[in-house]
Amino acid sequence: MKRILIAEDDLTLSKMYKTKLENYDFEVLQAMDGEEALKMSLNIHPDLILLDIDMPKMDGLTVMRKLREDVWGKEVPVIIFTNQEASDDRLKDILENHPAFYLVKSNTEPWEIVEKIEEVLHMK
């Protein structure tokens, strides 16, 4: 069973994605802020991280950068999952330097996320 870490500060959304993913036989871990997300990632080593950008304590982009500095974290697939547009400079910078996937939250149905995760993990 693949382990997915959801880094999302909105509890409703987090719960929603958890439900959806568990229905598709994923083990789901939840982090409610950036620091927690980084900590859990480095301790638990999930198979994929669904990473929000706007989070308390540490934003998703910092989490991403720190992950990529770690030996394990360098390799782990990350789907940046946000309402920020890809044209945003910060996001663009991260995506260019640290290969990751990207989805726009408001345009993405829960099933589309499952599809994307399966796609990414399959590719791996």
Partner 1 sequence: MSKKTKIIISSFILVMIFLAIGLFIIRQVYNQLQNELVNQYAQENLTLAKQTALTLEEEIRSTEDKLRLISKLPEIRDGNTELCNRKLVEIAALNPRISNIGRVGTDKKFKCSLNKALTGTDAGKLGPYISQIFRDPIHKPVMSRVIKVPAGGYAVALHVPVIDESGEFAGTVGGAIYFEEFSKKFLKDIKVSDQGYIVLQDDNGTIFYHPEKELIGQNIRPKTQQEAATASAITNLIIKSSIDGSSGTSRYVSTLDNKEKVGAYAPAEVSAGRKWIVIVTVPIENILDSPLILKTRDVFGQLLLLVVAATIIPLMLLVLYLILSVFRPIENIGKAATEIGKGNLEVKLPVKSYDEIGKLAKVFNEMAIKLKSSYEELEQRVIKRTAELGTKVEELEKTKSVTLNILEDLNEEKAKIMNEKAKDEAILTSIGEGMIVTDEHGEIAKINEQALVMLGFKEEELMGKWITKALKAEKEDGTEIPIDERAMAEALTTGQKVTQKLNYFRKNNTKFPASITVTPIVINNKPIGAIEIFRDITKENELAHLKDEFVSIASHELRTPMTAIKGLISMIFEGDYGPLNDNLKEPLTDVAHSTERLINLVNDMLNVSRIEAGRVKINLSNFQVKSAIDEIVNVLQPIAKDKNIYLKAENIDSFSVQSDNDKLRQILNNIIGNSLKFTDKGGITVTEKQSNDLLNIYVTDTGMGISKEDQNKLFGKFQQISTQQAGRPVGTGLGLYVSRELARKMGGDMWIERSEMGKGSVFAFSIPIAGSEKAKKSKEQISKEAVANPDQK
Write down the least CB distance from residue 55 to partner 1, Å.
12
- We find the least distance from the C-beta atom of residue 87 to partner 1, in angstroms, to be 4
CA-based torsion, 91, 96, 98, 101: positive or negative: positive
DSSP notation for the chain = --EEEEE-S-HHHHHHHHHHHHHTT-EEEEESSHHHHHHHHHHH--SEEEE-SS-SSS-HHHHHHHHHHSTTTTTS-EEEEESS-TTSHHHHHHHHHS--EEEEGGG--HHHHHHHHHHHHHH-
Pick one of 43, 96, 109, 122: the residue that binds partner 1 (CB under 8 A): 109
Q: Which of 56, 72, 99, 111 binds partner 1 (CB under 8 A)?
A: 111
Residue 87 per-residue DSSP state: T
Task: Find the shortest distance in angstroms from Cβ 115 to partner 1.
Answer: 12
Decide: is 96 part of the binding site for partner 1 (CB under 8 A): no
Cβ distance to partner 1 smaller for residue 31 or 76: 31
Task: Please report whether residue 13 would count as binding partner 1 according to CB under 8 A.
Answer: yes
When asked if residue 47 is in the footprint of partner 1 (CB under 8 A), the reply is no
- Positions touching partner 1 (CB under 8 A) are 10, 12-13, 16-17, 19-20, 23, 54, 83, 85-89, 105-106, 109-111
